[in-house]
Amino acid sequence: DVKVTQSSRYLVKRTGEKVFLECVQDMDHENMFWYRQDPGLGLRLIYFSYDVKMKEKGDIPEGYSVSREKKERFSLILESASTNQTSMYLCASSLSSWGNYGYTFGSGTRLTVV
Amino acid sequence: ELKVEQNPLFLSMQEGKNYTIYCNYSTTSDRLYWYRQDPGKSLESLFVLLSNGAVKQEGRLMASLDTKARLSTLHITAAVHDLSATYFCALIQGAQKLVFGQGTRLTINP
């Protein structure tokens, strides 16, 4: 089974800090994604990447950046954390051919900015 | 732009009853997915529906797709407590992106 591992389950950071959320997948998937999940809003796409060093903005990229230096690792960066970035962050990966299961998700990082 | 709307957003039901979650979407898409999320956990893929009239069943859950109506349903038969979770539908936009509905939080009471 594909595994998508997010480095932290819970994080508490202060306003203005630079925050790194790490995601690693172990099955050579081309595509990787970062979503945030908020009650009543479902999942909203922040950034995605379809290849090493490639990135595309999603629907809500403001305040975030990403890095993909290796195929298996996709990092989400909050340049200067703010309280409105308190949320659950989910990383996902997929094959370019999609297959029958779409994305495989990590277990999520619940970030609280105080 | 693809928009996906689920209803209801919250559903409380008794064990043994049947109910349906609806997923409406605004533009055509090649695939529709249903996911399940347990509290504090990640999303688990349940079904993928590829064509008009597609029906998939797993245990007490059955998903169907009507592309002409731009509607998918997730039907729960004789609900049991273990099915309590949040259910999401999602569709592909463009080549790579999944667009999700808001989610339906399902609570099944004994």
pLDDT tens-digit map of A13-48: 999 999 999 999 998 888 999 999 998 888 999 999
β-pairing, A109-113 with A10-13? parallel
A40, A42, A105 ranked by CB distance to B42: nearest? A105
| A78 lies within 8 A of chain B by CB | no
A41, A45, A104 ranked by CB distance to B97: nearest? A45
A50, A98, A107 ranked by CB distance to B42: nearest? A107
φ and ψ at residue A84, rounded to 5 degrees: -75, 0
Q: Is the pLDDT of residue B27 over 60?
A: yes
Nearest CA in chain A to B95: A96
pLDDT at B110 (0 to 100): 86
One-letter amino acid of B56: K
Q: How far is B79 from chain A (nearest CA, A)?
A: 24
| A34 lies within 8 A of chain B by CB | no
Structure tokens at B82: 């273990």
Residue carrying structure tokens 């009239």 = B53
> A109 contacts in B (CB within 8 Å)?
none
Q: Is the pLDDT of residue A101 over 70?
A: no
pLDDT at B41 (0 to 100): 86
- Contact: B48, A106; criterion CB under 8 Å: no
Structure tokens at B100: 């999700």
pLDDT at B42 (0 to 100): 87
For residues B97 and B92, give the distance between their C-alpha atoms in angstroms, rounded to a whole number.
6
pLDDT band at A75 (very low <50, low <70, confident <90, very high): very high
% chain A with pLDDT above 90: 75
Bond preceding residue B110 cis, omega within 30 of 0: no
| A97 lies within 8 A of chain B by CB | no
For residues A69 and A18, give the distance between their C-alpha atoms in angstroms, rounded to a whole number.
19
pLDDT at A97 (0 to 100): 62
φ and ψ at residue A85, rounded to 5 degrees: -100, 5
Q: Is the pLDDT of residue A98 over 80?
A: no
For residues A46 and A33, give the distance between their C-alpha atoms in angstroms, rounded to a whole number.
8
pLDDT band at B1 (very low <50, low <70, confident <90, very high): confident
> B102 contacts in A (CB within 8 Å)?
40-42
